[in-house]
């Protein structure tokens, strides 16, 4: 046991250096007046007050939460049927389908998002297709729809894989028992399959919503800077404006929101397990 504890020391040191220390620095910057020097600073909560009293910043936060919620709902609506189909397929076909889902994620997300610029741009394949079927030359790029499409495309595999894992772990003898008792397929799905897959659904929602609400490169590329989200605001404060203190305060607000969401998800999982922790 002692040997295993010693093996954990490098990971603990790495986590402290790469995760805990940066978070502490961000927390320090968020409550200081002139965060350029750690030696001399004055404590203040004006940066948090500035965020919550400015309607423009609150609008950006609301827009970020809204598009993250839309992304999550669309990913769930598209991902559950796909995950269900994969789970009901033969084992060899399952491996192929899972590989086809994960294969695009091997390519950097930035590269994949750049590809959508060419697809959605004026005169691109998507616009030509819409013109061919008689839908006109609609503006596709630099719109909310383009940002939403990029979000769904990048985060959909996380939803599918989580739900598929939960469905594959399900005891299929329960489905046979429901059928023997005369339950219709729709009722079996609602009373057996869906409840047993809820842990995967919850994990999928978490893995989609959290990165979607804080994403900055997708709205920057596909929104053309016209669709400003909270991630873009944080990037702007650090890189363009140079307001590290205010940017750190926004980062801490988002970190707290995410931690609260993860705690809520954990409580739901414990409730689904009958009050028992994993």
The domain limits of the chain are 47-272
Give the containing element (helix H, strand E) for 9. Answer: helix 9-15
Burial 229-244 (b: 16+ CB within 10 A, else e): bbbbbbbbbbeeeebb
Note the pLDDT of residue 2.
59
Measure the CA–CA gap between 51 and 212, rounded to whole angstroms: 21
Note the pLDDT of residue 118.
87
Measure the CA–CA gap between 217 and 155, rounded to whole angstroms: 13
Cα 26 vs. chain centroid, distance in angstroms?
22
- pTM confidence score: 0.85
Burial 128-163 (b: 16+ CB within 10 A, else e): eeeeeeeeeeeebbbbbebbbbbbbbbbbbbbbbbb
Note the pLDDT of residue 227.
78
What's the CATH fold of domain 47-272?
A: MetI-like fold (1.10.3720)
Residue 38 has pLDDT above 70, yes or no: no
Taking all residues of the chain, what is their mean pLDDT, rounded to a whole number? 85
Higher-pLDDT residue of 273, 14 = 14
Measure the CA–CA gap between 221 and 152, rounded to whole angstroms: 15
CB-based contacts of 41: which residues, under 8 Å, 6+ apart?
28, 32, 33, 34, 35
What are the tens digits of pLDDT across the range 254-263?
Answer: 888 888 888 8
Residue 275 has pLDDT above 80, yes or no: no
Mean pLDDT of 32-56: 78
What are the tens digits of pLDDT across the range 64-105?
Answer: 999 999 999 999 999 999 999 999 888 889 999 999 999 888
pLDDT band for 48, please (50, 70, 90 cuts): very high
Measure the CA–CA gap between 112 and 165, rounded to whole angstroms: 25
Residue 145 has pLDDT above 50, yes or no: yes
Measure the CA–CA gap between 256 and 243, rounded to whole angstroms: 20
CB distance 141 to 113 below 8 Å: no
CB distance 72 to 209 below 8 Å: yes
State the virtual CA torsion across 157, 162, 164, 169 in degrees, nearest 10. Answer: 160
Higher-pLDDT residue of 271, 248 = 248
Higher-pLDDT residue of 134, 217 = 217
CB-based contacts of 214: which residues, under 8 Å, 6+ apart?
64, 230, 231, 234, 254, 258
């Amino acid at each position: 046991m002692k040997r295993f504890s010693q093996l954990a020391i490098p990971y603990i040191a790495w986590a402290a250096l790469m995760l805990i220390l940066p978070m502490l620095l961000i927390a320090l910057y968020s409550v200081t007046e002139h965060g350029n020097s750690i030696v001399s600073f004055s404590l203040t909560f004006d940066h948090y007050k500035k965020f919550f009293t400015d309607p423009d910043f609150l609008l950006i936060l609301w827009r970020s939460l809204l598009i993250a919620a839309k992304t999550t709902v669309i990913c769930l609506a598209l991902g559950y049927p796909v995950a269900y189909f994969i789970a009901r397929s033969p084992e060899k076909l399952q491996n192929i389908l899972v590989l086809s889902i994960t294969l695009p994620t091997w390519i950097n997300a930035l590269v994949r998002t750049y590809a959508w610029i060419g697809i959605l741009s004026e005169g691109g394949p998507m616009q030509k297709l819409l013109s061919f079927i008689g839908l006109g030359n609609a503006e596709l790029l630099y719109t909310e729809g383009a940002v939403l499409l990029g979000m769904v495309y990048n985060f959909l595999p996380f939803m599918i894989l989580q739900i598929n894992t939960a469905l594959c772990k399900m005891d299929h003898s329960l489905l046979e028992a429901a059928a023997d008792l005369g339950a219709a397929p729709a009722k079996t799905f609602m009373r057996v399959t869906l409840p047993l897959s809820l842990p995967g659904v919850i994990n999928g929602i978490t893995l989609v919503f959290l990165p979607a609400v804080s994403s900055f490169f997708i709205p920057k590329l596909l929104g053309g800077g016209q669709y400003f989200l909270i991630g873009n605001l944080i990037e702007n404060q650090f890189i363009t404006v140079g307001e590290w203190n205010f940017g750190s305060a926004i980062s801490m607000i988002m970190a707290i929101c995410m931690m609260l969401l993860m705690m809520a998800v954990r409580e739901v999982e414990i409730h689904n397990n009958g009050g028992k922790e994993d």
